[in-house]
Every structure is written in structure tokens, then in C-alpha cells.
Structure 1
Amino acid sequence: MKPDFKLLVFDWDGTLMDSEARIVSCVRAATQDMAIETPADEQIRDIIGLGLKEALEKLFPGSDAPFKERFIDFYRHYFLHEDSTPSRLFPHVRDVLDYLASQDYLLAVATGKGRPGLNKVLQETGLAPRFHATRCADETFSKPHPEMLLQIMDELGVTPADTLMIGDTEYDLQMAINAGTHGLAVSYGVHTVDRLNQFNPLGCLDDISELSDWLKQ
């Protein structure tokens, strides 16, 4: 039987917002500014969901701290100020969040974004008031470390048994396992369904609009 969840924690990129193209564009621009070889788009997409330092370790293994700091400065400049690649909420996200709020669920975000990036998109979308707590990878450990989820649960006074982590990557689902919570996958983000299913999520949604009915089942 499915638990009666109290807290729903959402990943951001690839789960609530279709930001893949913008992230890829900003990484490509940063590599050009640093005059280094640009990874393939597939490699860049694969690190979406990780904190920037952890993402750079996967893209550029063995890179040192000064390299990472310089790259992050370039990336954030493009993401926050220069890059105009559209990033939009997936269809039905607003309606789903409105419904969940009306049902008295606690709602939160756990994201690989840095705080400036998350604040920017929360302001642009007007969704900040919908969430009771948010955590970013520059405030604590990156996914799949459980600390983001543990901090959110502690802040809101919710147990792992009452918490559902919803995301589009293996990093989200592994974080849920590491934190002792439940995991729910979405199929429309950056990682394939086969890859997600290796982490035994409770289900895999093809559209975020399915979440409300899924919770009722």
C-alpha cells in the first residue's frame, strides 16, 4: 500500500522546468570563454541535477579548485545575466502545485542549482510562495548525498516515511534511498526510464499532471 505522504520534495531542472537547453548552452559558453574543449551535449545533459562542482568533476576529471571556481563564475554569468535560451515550466506544473497546496501537502525543492539560480527562476515563475522549504547544492552536499532531504525534513518536522522525492535523474532517486525516503521518477527529463528503474522508484510518471491521481491511488 502506498504511504500517505505529508511532504513532497521536487527536483527543479527536468522535473518542474524544461531547462536542459539553457544549461547545455551555458556550459558550452563557459568552455569557450575558458578556451577548453567543449564536452558533447549528451555528456552535459548527463550531469544535470548535480551541484556544479560535482558536475565539473564528471565533465573534467581531476580538475583543480581554481579551475572549478573560474568555470562556475563563467557559467553563472551566462545563466544569470547573458543566456536567453528559453527555460519554461513543463505544462501543468502550476495547476498541479496549486492542487497539492489545496490538499495541504508540504511542498519543497531539492536542486543541484545554486541559490542565485534557484532564486532567479522562483522569482521569474512566481512560484516561491508555493514551497515551504528549498535547498540548493551550494548550501549543503550535492545529490546523491542525503543532506538536502535530511535538512528539509528536519526543518518541516516530517519523517522519511512520510516524504516523497520526485525527480528525473538517478541522482534524485539515489538521494531518496540514501535519506530513507520514497522516490518517484518522471520519464520526461534527462535520464532514461531504464536508468531510473534501476533505483526502484514507486512509479514513473510520463507527465507531471499524473501526480495528483497517482497520489490518490
Structure 2
Amino acid sequence: MSSPLRLILFDVDGTLADSQGAITGAMAEAFDGAALPVPPREAILSIVGLSLPLAMQELAPDQDAATVDALVEGYKSSYMLAREAAGAGHSPLYPGAREALAELNAVPEYLLGVATGKSQRGVEALIAAHGLECFVTRQVADHHPSKPHPSMVLAAMAETGVERGSTVMIGDTRFDIEMGKAAGVTTIAVPWGYHPAETLGADYLIRDFAELRPLLAEIWKA
């Protein structure tokens, strides 16, 4: 009898790719362009994972809708220009990420996907820059409510036909973990991203990408 399919969903920024320099730089340019004080780095990183309009509302709660819209567009423009100029160096992969993805992708019953607050254009550009064609489902901010709403995870499961008990969500922020829990799937936190991993309340915590495959084998050994 063949093994059941397993779905492994990854957040992108702060989990697979170290985008903090790109994010803080684009955010600074967006706020400068709107003649507003640039939020502290800690505040900017605290909203990574949220969809961009909601993130801007969090960072600029006293601004009207038109100003928030201008911040969103300023961020998008700055981020895109920097990405086009820097290529793969714009958001480098964390150590071990590429190897872990290749290792997992080689397992016949494992399906890989992303569930990210990035736009469709942004995630496709990052995948192309790093040659990551292993993701069979790509859930992005354009088509879903912002994390921690479970829509992205539920859509990925529906798209792949994988059940909750055979799905994991891997991320670095509370929005990732809360989204996974809201969808009823197993959650795995990583500590190299933007929120303190020990505070996320994930079901599991890995310290290195090399720990991921053995952990998944343990989770699904039954």
C-alpha cells in the first residue's frame, strides 16, 4: 500500500529567505516618501507576515486611508526596484534551506508549498531568483485574508487533497503559527526569523534545517 501524501507548507520571509534588510529598507523609503517618521526596526520586523495593507495600518495607526495606501504603494515600488537591481542577493536563503527543500522534495509522498504574506509577483520572483521550482502549491497575499486567518493553509490542503493530520505549517512569526493552529494542522517554529521562537506556542521547534526531515518522520511515523 502506498504511503499517504504529506503537505509541508513554508512561510517565506524569515523562514526560507532572510529578507529583513530588503523589508526594512523598502519600509524606510516608503515612510520617507510619505514624509513620515520611519518606524523602529523592531516594529517593522514585528509585522512581517501580515499582508501589506494590514502591516501599514499597524505601523501607521493614526494615518488616514489615503496615506496608508500611499505607504503600501511606496513600499511595493521600492521593494521591486531593489529586487530587480540585486537579483538573488536581495533576499538570500538561510543556510541549509536549499538543501532541506531538495531533500524533502526527493521523498515521493511529500508535497511542498508556501503560504506567505508576499504578493504573487514577489513570491514568483523569489522562486525564480533561487531556482526553487519544488512548490506545488503557492498561497499568497493577493488571494487570501491576511495571516493569521487560516485561508492559505485551507486552500493549500484543498488544492493538494491532503488532510489536516498530514499537513504541517513551518514559520518564524506568531502569525504563521496562529494561522496553522487555526487551520488545525501541526505547527513547527524556526528561531532564525523575526519573532522569538520560544514565544510562538508551536507544536515543535527546530534549531537547524537539518532537523526538519527527522522531525517530520517522527511526526508521521504512525
Could you tell me the TM-score, scaled by structure 2's length? 0.90
Query: Secondary structure in 2 aligned to 1:56?
Result: helix
In 1: Cα distance, 2:70 partner to 2:25 partner: 17
Shift of 1:34: 0.9
Residue number in structure 1 paired with 2:58: 58
Matched, 1:136 2:136: no
User: How far off is 1:81 after superposition?
Assistant: 1.1
Matched AA of 1:132: V
Aligned length: 210
Q: Distance in 2 between matches of 1:35 and 1:109?
A: 35
2:96 counterpart residue number: 92
How does 1:162-181 map onto structure 2 within 5 Å?
A: 162-181=166-185
Is the Cα–Cα contact under 8 Å of residues 34 and 67 in structure 2 kept in the other structure? no
CA–CA separation in structure 2 for the residues paired with 1:216 and 1:182: 13
Task: Return the offset for 1:68.
Answer: 2.4
Match for residue 194 of structure 1?
A: 198
Q: What residue number does 1:114 align with? A: 119
Q: Distance in 1 between matches of 2:40 and 2:18?
A: 19
CA distance in 2 between counterparts of 1:208 and 1:94 reads 9
CA RMSD of the aligned region, Å?
1.6
Q: What residue is the counterpart of 2:205 in the other structure? A: 204
Distance in 2, Cα, partners of 1:5 & 1:206: 26
Q: What residue ranges of structure 1 are gaps of 5+ in the alignment?
A: none
Residue 143 of structure 2 aligns to a residue whose secondary structure is: coil
> Percent same amino acid among aligned pairs?
36
| Equivalent residues in 2 for 1:121-160, closer than 5 Å | 121-127=126-132, 129-160=133-164
| Letter in structure 2 aligned against 1:101 | N
**CA–CA distance in 1 between the matches of 2:95 and 2:5?**
24
Partners of 1:62 and 1:180 in 2: how far apart?
35
**Equivalent residue number for residue 189 of structure 2:** 185
Letter in 1 for 2:36: I
Contact 1:163 1:181 in 2 (8 A): yes
Structure 2 residues not aligned, in runs of 5+: none
Query: Closer, same or farther in 2 for the Cα pair 1:148/1:62, shift >3 Å?
Result: farther
* Aligned pairs for 1:39-54 within 5 A: 39-54=39-54
Look up the SS of the partner of 2:126 in the other structure. helix
**Structure 1, residues 132-163: CA drift from partner, whole Å, max 9, x if none?**
01111121111000001111111111111111
- Structure 2: which amino acid aligns with 1:115? Q
